[in-house]
Structure 1
């Protein structure tokens, strides 16, 4: 074991650069408190340091063998990613089931499912990403891999999973990759996220049926439901609450009114109808 034979106590902090990169240097400041105070008898310092292994000093600096700067941060990031990639462990109400769908901007998608008889609750949020507890801005940055989704809670006695799948396919274009209308980005991708083997089977069979009816390849992903991060409150039931222009849109069961993401005006342009 390498040992320090002698070392005078520094009068001021030492600065060590752990990286020699010309573009980036990680700086560590070693304050005198890391070292034994200089004794009146110099030989005493020498004896003290002879008994102190180099690994001990490095350990105090976070530079011990098997360690590197940022290791703790990396570990925390890996842990957060593990949580984000884990299953959705929320529990639906008794007798109810969950389903998750991504079909573009979640404002309009949520209203579609709100109107379906047998659906008792809807929430918009983020899933399938790598970061824990993302914000809307994080997701929009395109760096988290999250998808904007609607989590639907439904009573299977009143509404079948196939009914939800039919609404999903009718709502969007499943052949456009990472895009719905003017909304572009990985967060707008088409996806069905299943909770049970039965849901997976139904989703895949439904996709195959839809593909037979289209001459373009469907890009919808069918994956297990992962951790659901509820979006900020102002996104919840956005259109039912009035959207950006204060025009409240009906959530009545069975309602077939056109869904307008940005409000309704007498001279509303065509793109204002079903645009998100």
Structure 2
């Protein structure tokens, strides 16, 4: 029987093993590629105690910090004067013959749009961005809090079947006009309260309606009343979001006069 004498030398900082046999003497470095490769075959693969799943990403809430939501984050879009001049121009779209436009900002535009869709006399609704300083903004641009845009619903209505005052009453009922740049858990300048008028008659009606509503709330109303500016239609997945099924796939009715509770995120 062959006897093997093994000694381990610790004089080197890279621990080495000296093996002596009756035939040969060999020195293997523990750090040699061949030695490490041979060891790797016997190493157990690391395992995680948690299931490896992907976290779902919300289409409506891109990642951002609280400073960006409040409008104090880095000015990523950096609107220039030319871009601002275009964005601050009037809404030059034309409603259908015999129809009128109105624009409202009342927090997240999904639930607000569905509420207006249900109003008799409203013939079309679109969600988008307005009152900002950046031409042709994306949703991600608006959510940085640096472009000054508001999430708005542009309502087209037939004044013979629906008065502007009816739209104003719904506007006040759909949100809290006393919270600045916030509606519930939605925080940011894009969620501010606003009535954006197209005609002097709408402006006057909006101001009178605000004064009337102020008498029934305990805190100052912070709703802005301004001329309607250029309207940028939001991405297609935002349009009629809740009617399409929302976040959870449950479609909500757009029938005129429907009083079903609106689930704001689906």
Alignment correspondent of 2:243: 240
CA distance, structure 2, for counterparts of residue 144 and residue 195 of structure 1 = 22
Matches within 5 A, 1:1-276: 77-263=80-266
Whose radius of gyration is greater, 1 or 2?
A: 2
When the two chains are superposed, the root-mean-square deviation of aligned CA atoms in Å is 1.1
Secondary structure, counterpart of 1:240 in structure 2: helix
Ranges of 4+ aligned residues in structure 1 off by more than 6 Å: none
Cα deviation, residue 262, structure 1: 3.0
Conservation of the 8 A alpha-carbon contact between 2:107 and 2:190: yes
Contact 2:131–2:150 (Cα < 8 Å) also in 1: yes
- TM-score with structure 1 length normalisation? 0.67
Give the drift of 1:261.
Answer: 2.3
Task: Kindly state the Cα deviation for residue 79 of structure 1 after the two structures are TM-superposed.
Answer: 1.5
* Distance in 2 between residues matched to 1:251 and 1:176, nearest whole Å: 28
TM-score normalised to structure 2 length: 0.70
Unaligned 5+ runs, structure 2: 1-77
After superposition, the C-alpha distances for 1:114-154 in whole angstroms (9 at most, x for unaligned) are 00000000000000000000000000010100000000000
SS in 1 for 2:91: coil
Write out per-residue CA displacement over residues 163-221 of structure 1, whole angstroms, 9 at most, x where no aligned residue: 00000000000000000000000000000000000000000000000011112000000
SS in 2 for 1:94: coil
Query: Which residue matches 1:39?
Result: none
Give 1:77 deviation, angstroms. 2.6
Checking the alignment, whether the CA contact within 8 Å between 2:107 and 2:175 is kept in structure 1 is yes
Greater percentage in helix = 1
For 1:102 and 1:262, the matched residues in 2 are separated by 17
How far apart in 2 are the matches of 1:80 and 1:131? 5
Looking at structure 2, the residues matched to 84 and 262 of structure 1 have their Cα atoms a distance apart, in angstroms, of: 29
CA contact (8 A) 2:111 2:265 kept: no
- For these two proteins, the number of residue pairs brought into alignment is 189
In structure 1, stretches of 5+ residues that fail to align are 1-73, 264-276
